[in-house]
Amino acid sequence: MSPLLTIRIQSEPFDAAAEIEALSRLGADVGAVASFIGFCRSEGGKLSALELEHYPGMADEEIGSVVAEAASRWPLFGVTVIHRHGVMRPGDGIVLVVTASSHRTASFEAANFVMDYLKTRAPFWKKEHLVDGSSGDWVDAKIEDDRLAARWKLDV
C-alpha cells in the first residue's frame, strides 16, 4: 500500500497531537511514529515575532517532492508536513513533520531528512520583528543547513 503523504501550507496554527494521532492509526503494523516541531523563539528576548513569507504553489511542490523522496527511501506508512506562513510569536509552532513506520529507524531518519531538505529547498523566508516595534532583518541562511542537507547525498 502506498504511504499517506499529507502536505499543508497554512497560516493557521496546527494541532500536533491530532496529527500524530492520525498517523499512529494508519494500521496495525504502525510501530513507530516520530515527530518534529519547529517553534518561533525570541532569541533571548530580542524578537517579538517572526514573519514568514512564502512562494505559494512552489512551497507545496518542493515539500511534496522532498516527502515523496523520503517515502521512496524508507518504508513509511505516512508522512505529514505542515508549514505555516504569516506572523509567528515566540512559542508558536512554525513547522510540523510526522512520520510513521514499523520500526523507529525509518521514522527518525525520514523526519530528519525531510527537515534537512525543507530547510534548504522550501521557498520560505523569515523576517524578524523586534520587541521595540521596529522591523528587524531577514534571517540569513546558515551554511550549516547546507551541510546537513548535503549529507543525504541527494540533488533534488
Residue from 10, 21, 25, 58 in contact with another protein (CB under 8 A): 58
Residue found by looking up cell 505516512 in the block:
78
State which residue, 19 or 62, has the beta carbon closest to another protein.
62
d(CA 118, CA 93): 16
State which residue, 36 or 108, has the beta carbon closest to another protein.
36
CB 88, CB 73: distance < 8 Å: no
CB 140, CB 59: distance < 8 Å: no
Q: What is the footprint of another protein within residues 30-49 (CB under 8 A)? A: 38
Q: Does 138 bind another protein (CB under 8 A)?
A: yes
Residue found by looking up cell 522532498 in the block:
66
Report residue 39: phi and psi, to 5°. Answer: -110, 155
d(CA 72, CA 2): 10
d(CA 101, CA 112): 14
DSSP label of 90: T
- Residue 33 Cβ vs another protein, minimum distance, rounded to whole Å: 20
Q: Does 150 bind another protein (CB under 8 A)?
A: no
Residue from 14, 77, 113, 124 in contact with another protein (CB under 8 A): 124
- Residue 113 Cβ vs another protein, minimum distance, rounded to whole Å: 13
Q: Does 94 bind another protein (CB under 8 A)?
A: yes
- Residue 102 Cβ vs another protein, minimum distance, rounded to whole Å: 27
For another protein, the binding residues (CB under 8 A) are 38, 52-55, 57-59, 61-62, 83, 94-95, 115, 118-127, 138-141
